[in-house]
Amino acid sequence: MRKTVDCQLTFGETDISQIEFDLKSRDDIPPLLKGLQYIYTHNETRKKIFQILEREIAPSADKKNGRPGMELWKIFVMGTLRLNLNWDYDRLHEMVNNHKTIRQMLGHGLIDECYSYNLQTLKDNIKLLTPEILDNINEIVVNCGHKLVKKKIKFF
């Protein structure tokens, strides 16, 4: 049984919409996380993406029985980081276990500061994001980006 995202904040957890980024950073992680934050806070886009993930990730698995799988939001965030930053699983493993802002984006707070992901768990879950799923999500994200740009551009 997979949750889309756990909406209940734990002690010391930062709401994803409230995560602050170093806007002076020249690294490629903050802009990507900022984009994920926008997707998370833009309800229409988030719902469309989660519909795809719920429908496509392990569709034959019994959603009411068995141990809970990794939340879809976490799979989406980790898969996005791995794909867009061209990370191998070892690099992803290091970053999701030790990078403060990435951990906030994954929904970790003070209470689960010591929680770490196993390398095999990452591999088993991220591989569920097939090229077809990613193509469908990409189409939604691109359309969202076009709408965002149109709002910011004013003609005459």
* Domain region containing 109: 26-137
Q: For 116-139, how does the pLDDT look when each residue is reduced to its tens digit (9 = 90+)?
A: 999 999 999 999 999 999 999 999
Q: Is residue 151 part of a domain?
A: no
Q: Is residue 44 part of a domain?
A: yes
Q: Is residue 19 part of a domain?
A: no
Q: Is residue 14 part of a domain?
A: no
Q: For 78-116, how does the pLDDT look when each residue is reduced to its tens digit (9 = 90+)?
A: 999 999 999 999 999 999 999 999 999 998 887 777 889
Q: Is residue 21 part of a domain?
A: no
Q: Which of 106, 95, 100 is nearest to 36 (CA)?
A: 106
Q: Is residue 55 part of a domain?
A: yes
* pLDDT at position 156 over 50: no
Q: 19-23, 42-46, 144-148, 151-155: which range is least confident on average? A: 151-155
Long-range contacts (CB closer than 8 Å, 24 or more residues apart) made by 138-142 = 140/45, 140/48, 140/49, 140/52, 141/39, 141/45, 141/49
Q: Kindly indicate the confidence band of residue 7, based on its pLDDT and cuts at 50, 70 and 90.
A: low
Q: Is residue 8 part of a domain?
A: no
90 or 143, which is more confident? 90
Q: Kindly indicate the confidence band of residue 148, based on its pLDDT and cuts at 50, 70 and 90.
A: confident
Q: For 28-56, how does the pLDDT look when each residue is reduced to its tens digit (9 = 90+)?
A: 999 999 999 999 999 999 999 999 999 99
pTM of the model: 0.84
* pLDDT at position 147 over 50: yes
CA-to-CA distance for 52 and 23, rounded, in angstroms? 31
Total of domains in the chain: 1
Structure letter (DSSP) for residue 1: -
Q: Is residue 17 part of a domain?
A: no
Contacts for 139 with CB less than 8 Å, ≥ 6 apart: none
